[in-house]
């Protein structure tokens, strides 16, 4: 059972034109794979394991989609911040792809 006091989450909006596609999902998964506990992405009622590119892609997030990033361990707060920055920064893609 997860102690709800140990969970943290952030809500972000997908800002790049291509949405959350394979390349951007791979960037999220690479960060999530360094976590001490599970990291989840949620869009509406759908939830995806942030360490799985395929799982992330099942969320079908186009530009403007609102997602929640949830960590299960406060020790992963730096990863939560990094994923948040990545999403809010358009996945560090060139301006013509944002």
Active site residues per annotation: 21
Specify whether the CB–CB gap between 98 and 90 falls below 8 A. Answer: yes
What is the Cα–Cα distance from 79 to 76, expressed in whole angstroms?
5
What is the Cα–Cα distance from 6 to 51, expressed in whole angstroms?
19
Specify whether the CB–CB gap between 87 and 15 falls below 8 A. Answer: yes
């Amino acid at each position: 059972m997860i102690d709800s006091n140990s969970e943290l989450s952030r809500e972000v909006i997908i800002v790049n034109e291509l949405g959350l596609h394979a390349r951007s999902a791979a960037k999220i998964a690479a960060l999530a794979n360094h976590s001490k506990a599970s990291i989840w992405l949620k869009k509406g009622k759908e939830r995806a394991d942030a360490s799985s590119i395929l799982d992330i892609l099942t969320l079908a997030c186009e530009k403007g989609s609102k997602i929640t990033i949830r960590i299960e361990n406060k020790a992963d707060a730096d990863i939560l911040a990094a994923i948040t920055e990545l999403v809010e920064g358009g996945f560090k893609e060139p301006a013509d792809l944002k």
